[in-house]
Amino acid sequence: MLRYPEIGTAVLYSPYAFLTAALVVSRRRDWIWYILVASAAHFVTHWPQWTLSWVVFADAANIARALVAALLLNRLVGTPPHLDSARSLTLFIVCAVVAAPAVGATIGAANVVLHGAASTYWQPWTTWFVSNALTGLAALPAAIVGFAYVFGISPWHPDRSRVIEALLLLIALAATCALAFTPGFKWPTLVLLLSAPLPILIWAALRFGPGGASASLTWITYSVIWNIDRGADSLFGSLDESILALQIFVLFTAAPVLWLAAIATARHSVAQLHHALLASLQDQIAILDAHGMVIEVNESWRRFAATSDAHAIHRVLPGDDYLAVCQSWADRGDAIAADVAAGVKDVLRRTRRRFELEYDQTQGDRRETYAKSIEALERAGGGAVVMRANVTARRQARVEIEEQRRELSHLARVSVLGQLSGAFAHELNQPLTAILSNAETARHVIRHASPDLDYLGDILQDIIADDQRAAAMIQRLRGLLKRGDRRLQHIAIRELIDDVLELARTELMTRRVEVVTDINPTLPALWGDKVQLQQVMLNLILNACEAMGAAAESGRRLVLAADFDAPGRVHLAIRDNGTGIAPELIDRLFEPFVTSKPDGLGLGLSISRTIVAAHGGRLWGQNNHGGGATMHCVLPVASDDGTTLPVLAAMRDT
Amino acid sequence: MSAPTSSAFVQTSIAIVDDDASVRVSLKRLCTVFGLQATAYASGREFLTALEDGGSRADCLLLDAHMPEMTGSELQRHLVAKGISIPTIVFTADDTPELLAHYTATGIVAFLRKPLSSEDLLAAIERAVRRKE
């Protein structure tokens, strides 16, 4: 093997690469074994040709160099070190091509000088350093990749084309080296001679990464060394010139080639991630450039595009003009295509960041709901991402949640009315009592020979009035009891409060609660579901009654106040002078199943808050300064054109 | 249905106290048509005032248990306090056992559930008249 004749140092010292590679890919507690094996090999190959002290000293230099390289690489580049970016390659060169060889050279040169093989320190230092630096640069990356594979840390599962490509690369490399460096084959100039393998190196770098590039470099280096050994004079001139040529070649070729390999690897892994990411998404995705042309689509998009159900705007593939297709369908009167075209234009022009659309589509015999969103692509070149997802299940879940919410709200309403059952029995029995007494009176009167018809007329009139009174009462109750769909309407606040007070009248009377209303008569109407808002008010009023149970009968006072809040909003306050809200409950008042009543479910307030929130309002409670509590409810008034609130609209549509 | 015809019954003066106008008017009609002297009052306070003015006498009191301001039992307490004893028939829509027990303890003649049948009402009034005698 080619050595510097006077000091016995190899031009390319492969043990450095092997030991360092073994250390960086293994566990630290196993390092001692690799060091022992390497030392044993060193002794077997160098002793007794060299003196024992020389061999020991040289071994120490080797171990120190490998340890420094392995520790620095593990710390700065990783375990195992992946040379897949310009940054990691720079750190690799600093650690394994500069720092570790410098440490090795410092000890190794001292060895040479101490054994009298050189007169100056710097001459052997430089030789050692260059030899190790070249090894680090040319052979170490390949050794690390190889050891990582052997140790099972980075398994390699190449497909057939990849193996064939690797074999072709190997053949090309061998052929080039054989042609270029065989003694007797005369190339016009030396420069041309060493640049011959360059295309192969670039191929290896681009396609096989730093490992492949490094392996190729190692091959070339050994090929040159072998040929110099066989006939140095005929190849590069003198032995010294040959060594210099080789060093310059490796130094000026290896670094750029490795860099190229690292950047190619980085790009390749980003591209792989990008494709894997797109492929893993269930949503259909198309990426548009700034002009609306499709740059890329994912698997899901491609699959759907191939189906017969797909609308033309979903059959576009890379190279097609998405915007133009949408526009042409919009021109033919397709409403969804028109919306999408407008949205795409807005997003591409950056007048908005995101455009969303939800629509139904019949697919076979099923009706599916799709959500489409177009999002600006945040990059210098502009563009947009089109995403389309089947949200039928999500929408179904939303409908079910709304259904359950409605069910729960109905249960709560029924339970509130249950609290009032005694009062309702009383209210209904009043007209029934009057009707019965009047009817019996009438029956008695008509037994007379000449009944007083005017008197009978009055009685019948009263019966009719009482019957209507009972019917109205039942109607009011029915509205609250039935499980109807949401019905949105204008609601006058005065009417809302009066209706609820009418329902609670007997209860309030029984509980001896004096009711005071203070309603600004100029308040505009609310827009919402009357039954639900009645439920909220009834709940709040009954809670207030409950809270005043402990107060003296004479002082129970419920104030219902309504006035303007912020513009477009009405503030309702239900103030009692009861026991107030217990401090431990005040923060959790609106949580479900939180109640101060021994037989309460604790759903009333939580459902009330949900209802108010669905009306775009807010419900909260606080204790009064002078005792008792006030529940505050802020609700938006109906807009001028009487249109619906967005929140309620969303709920109604589901 | 046949009305009791004893002279004592016919001259009986009935006081009806109920806050509900329809009930008040219809009960008064019913009593009148059976030959009773009936007067109706909208509240306990109104009845007490009439008693104090001396313009009124009552042989029997038809009393609604469930009224704002002054409930049936409150009116009874006022009467007891004034040393006035009138045979009383209490009626209510809310016939809870507690309420029944409460009124039974005060020695009422009858506790009737709304709506009232004329037979039950007249039978109770007859019992009240006999007790008065």
Q: How confident is the model at residue A16 (pLDDT cuts 50, 70, 90)?
A: confident
pLDDT score for A364:
74
Contact yes or no for B1 and A444 at CB 8 A: yes
Return the minimum-mean-pLDDT range out of A15-24, A334-343, B92-101: B92-101
Residue A580 has pLDDT above 80, yes or no: yes
Which of B1, B66, B118 faces A426 most closely, judged by CB atoms?
B66
Contact yes or no for B118 and A440 at CB 8 A: yes
- The order of strands in the sheet holding B13-17 is B37-41, B13-17, B60-64, B88-92, B110-113
Per-residue b or e along B28-39, where b marks 16 or more CB atoms closer than 10 Å to that residue's CB: bbbbebbebebb
Contact A246, A130 (CB under 8 A): no
Contact yes or no for A462 and B26 at CB 8 A: yes
Contact yes or no for B30 and A426 at CB 8 A: no
3-state DSSP assignment of residue A524: coil
Instruction: Report the candidate in A256, A255, A232 with the shortest Cα–Cα distance to residue A244.
Output: A232
**Cα–Cα distance measured from residue A146 to residue A141, given in angstroms and rounded to the nearest whole number:** 9
CB atoms near residue A181 (< 10 Å): 24
3-state helix, strand, coil split of chain B in percent (to 5) is 45, 20, 35
* Residue B38, strand partner residues: B14
Instruction: Report the candidate in A462, A511, A494 with the shortest Cα–Cα distance to residue A562.
Output: A494
Q: Which residues of B touch A431 (CB under 8 A)?
A: 22
A224 touches chain B (CB under 8 A): no
Contact A413, A480 (CB under 8 A): yes
Q: Return the residue matching tokens 């409605």.
A: A406
Interface probe, candidates B114, B117, B121, B125, chain A, greatest A C-beta count within 10 A: B114
pLDDT score for A235:
59
Residue B113 has pLDDT above 80, yes or no: yes
Please tell me which residue of chain B has the smallest CA distance to A512: B68
β-bridge pairing A366-376 and A354-363: antiparallel
A239-280 and A198-236 are packed helices; what angle lies between their axes, rounded to 10 degrees? Answer: 170
Q: Which residues of A touch B118 (CB under 8 A)?
A: 437, 440, 444
Please tell me which residue of chain A has the smallest CA distance to B70: A512
| Tokens coding A585 | 């409950």
pLDDT tens-digit map of A193-234: 667 788 888 999 888 888 888 899 888 888 878 877 776 455
Homologous superfamily of B8-132:
Response regulator (3.40.50.2300)
β-bridge pairing A9-10 and A366-376: unpaired
Residue A370 has pLDDT above 90, yes or no: no
**What is the average pLDDT score of chain A?**
84
Contact yes or no for A425 and B93 at CB 8 A: yes
Residues in chain B: 133
Residues in chain A: 654
Interface of B with A (CB under 8 A): 1, 20, 22-23, 25-27, 29-30, 33-34, 66-68, 91-94, 96, 114-118
Contact yes or no for A466 and B115 at CB 8 A: no
Please tell me which residue of chain A has the smallest CA distance to B68: A509
Q: How close is the nearest chain B Cα to the Cα of A645, in Å?
A: 42
Q: How close is the nearest chain A Cα to the Cα of B95, in Å?
A: 9
Amino acid identity, position A126: T
- The four Cα atoms A346, A347, A351, A357 give a dihedral, to 10 degrees, of 70
Q: What is the ipTM of this complex?
A: 0.91
**Cα–Cα distance measured from residue A21 to residue A32, given in angstroms and rounded to the nearest whole number:** 14
Please tell me which residue of chain A has the smallest CA distance to B32: A441
A445 touches chain B (CB under 8 A): yes
Alpha helices in A420-529 (DSSP H): 421-445, 453-481, 493-510
pLDDT: which is higher, A281 or A406: A281
pLDDT tens-digit map of A410-419: 888 888 887 7
Residue A397 has pLDDT above 50, yes or no: yes
Contact yes or no for A432 and B118 at CB 8 A: no
**Cα–Cα distance measured from residue B64 to residue B115, given in angstroms and rounded to the nearest whole number:** 12
Please tell me which residue of chain B has the smallest CA distance to A422: B94
Contact yes or no for A431 and B93 at CB 8 A: no
Which of B22, B30, B93 faces A441 most closely, judged by CB atoms?
B30
Mean pLDDT of A61-65: 90
Instruction: Report the candidate in A133, A97, A129 with the shortest Cα–Cα distance to residue A7.
Output: A129
pLDDT: which is higher, A83 or A632: A632
A79 touches chain B (CB under 8 A): no
- Where do the structural domains in chain B lie, given as residue ranges? 8-132
Q: Return the residue matching tokens 């949205």.
A: A343
